[in-house]
Amino acid sequence: MTSYSVLDLSPIVKGGSASDALNNSRDLAVHAEAWGYKRFWLAEHHNMSGIASAATSIVIAHVAAATSTIRVGSGGVMLPNHAPLVIAEQFGTLEALFPGRIDLGLGRAPGSDQLTARALRRELGASDERFPEDVAELQQFLGEPHPLQRVRAVPGQDSNIPLWLLGSSLFSARLAAELGLPFAFASHFAPDALMQALQVYRTLFRPSAQLDKPYAMVGVNAFVADTDDEARYLFTSLQQQFLNLRRGTPGQLQPPVDTMDGRWTEMEKRGLEHTMQYAAVGSADTVRAKLKDFIATTGADEVMLTAQIFDHAARLKSFELAAQVMRAL
């Protein structure tokens, strides 16, 4: 059976608050643990009025404190925003508090616009060039200390927290293969390079102390309800969110609508349909067929499900039904 996990952005819905979003994330994690999900990851985004997980390590602690077995981590921390020592200390602290349950997923994008990236007080240099060095430095801070090492992460040193590389292109696929790390592809919003990235990762993979063979995760938007029509209705919240983002007007997660007709142009519709081509939206039977085909096509070891659903009860039900589908595959 393919493992299944949750990616949560702690959505702040229209009329709601960041407190509501963070408490809903914690509640979803408690249920996800009971439903057999392997991991619960949170994503770092900044200057986004509809996402409450900017301080990702703090939200991870909030979720981990309410659960007991599910792995909790970042999907991901955007390493260019931070000094590796800071991340090593933050996640070393999390590992000390919740031993054996913390994952550290790393991305090389800023998770924001350039103006916000400057506000984060990091240089806007070539992240492609610096990212491998930052990953290596982070590994050193989390691994066995060198006898001559003058700076150590406390907590963090010798914790060997599992690292993941996240990506939507071939860059992180190659780096994950070179370093022998598990790789997660963001196919839930960037589908184009998926198959090529997985091939590159598997072909070039070199075993490491952390991982002896390739391990690939893929992201999927999964909206599951009693009927196809109901699921498509819930899905319109995400469609509106992406549409507003592309128009440069991001905001809180909007309530679903009966139809997107009149809300987007034909070109915008085609663009979003392409972006969401791997989304599994419908009844349990419909989603089962979609996910079965997707897993067979990708050969994924793990599927990370995400769903920006306006109503929390509907979101819980969607993840519960999705877990039932995954267990049956």
Give the number of other CB atoms < 10 A from CB of residue 107.
26
Q: What is the pLDDT of residues 103-136, one digit of tens each?
A: 999 998 765 567 776 777 656 555 557 899 999 9
* pLDDT in the model for residue 279: 98
Is residue 270, in this structure, part of any structural domain at all?
Answer: no
- pTM (global) more than 0.75: yes
Whether a cis peptide bond, with omega within 30° of 0, leads into 36 is no
Residue pair 102/76 in contact (Cβ under 8 Å)? The answer is no
* pLDDT in the model for residue 123: 61
* pLDDT in the model for residue 229: 98
For residue 77, what is the enclosing H or E element? Answer: strand 71-78
Residue found by looking up tokens 């990236």 in the block? 117
273 Cβ contact partners less than 8 Å away, ≥ 6 residues apart: none
Is residue 7, in this structure, part of any structural domain at all?
Answer: yes
Average pLDDT over residues 166-175: 96
pLDDT over threshold 80, residue 137: yes
Domain that residue 143 falls in? 3-223+299-328
* pLDDT in the model for residue 122: 58
Q: Length of the chain, please?
A: 329
Secondary structure (3-state) at 145 = coil
Say what angle helices 284-298 and 228-246 make with each other, to 10 degrees. 60
Average pLDDT over residues 307-317: 98
Give the number of other CB atoms < 10 A from CB of residue 61.
18
Q: Which two tokens stand for residue 5?
A: 């996990």
Is residue 252, in this structure, part of any structural domain at all?
Answer: no
Sort strands 183-185 and 163-167 into parallel, antiparallel or unpaired.
Answer: parallel
Q: What is the pLDDT of residues 151-164, one digit of tens each?
A: 999 999 999 999 99
* pLDDT in the model for residue 1: 82
For residue 183, what is the enclosing H or E element? Answer: strand 183-185
Q: How confident is the model at residue 166 (pLDDT cuts 50, 70, 90)?
A: very high
Give the number of other CB atoms < 10 A from CB of residue 147.
5
Is residue 73, in this structure, part of any structural domain at all?
Answer: yes
pLDDT over threshold 90, residue 27: yes
58 Cβ contact partners less than 8 Å away, ≥ 6 residues apart: none
* pLDDT in the model for residue 125: 57
* pLDDT in the model for residue 328: 94
* pLDDT in the model for residue 84: 95
303 Cβ contact partners less than 8 Å away, ≥ 6 residues apart: 2, 3, 4, 5, 217, 218, 219, 220, 291, 294, 295, 326
Average pLDDT over residues 197-219: 98
- pLDDT > 90 in the chain, percent: 89
Is residue 173, in this structure, part of any structural domain at all?
Answer: yes
Domain count, the chain: 1
Is residue 193, in this structure, part of any structural domain at all?
Answer: yes
Residue pair 39/6 in contact (Cβ under 8 Å)? The answer is yes
Q: How confident is the model at residue 291 (pLDDT cuts 50, 70, 90)?
A: very high
* pLDDT in the model for residue 119: 74
Is residue 165, in this structure, part of any structural domain at all?
Answer: yes
Q: What is the CATH number of the domain that holds 93?
A: 3.20.20.30
* pLDDT in the model for residue 146: 85
| 20-26, long-range: CB < 8 A, 24+ apart | 21/52, 22/52, 22/53, 22/59, 22/62, 24/312, 24/315, 25/52, 25/53, 25/59, 25/62, 25/63, 26/62, 26/63, 26/66
Is residue 275, in this structure, part of any structural domain at all?
Answer: no
Secondary structure (3-state) at 281 = strand
Q: What is the pLDDT of residues 38-84, one digit of tens each?
A: 999 999 999 999 999 999 999 999 999 999 999 999 999 999 889 99
Which among 227, 166, 225 has a CA at the least distance from the CA of 201?
166
Neighbouring-strand partners of residue 218? 185, 303
* pLDDT in the model for residue 111: 53
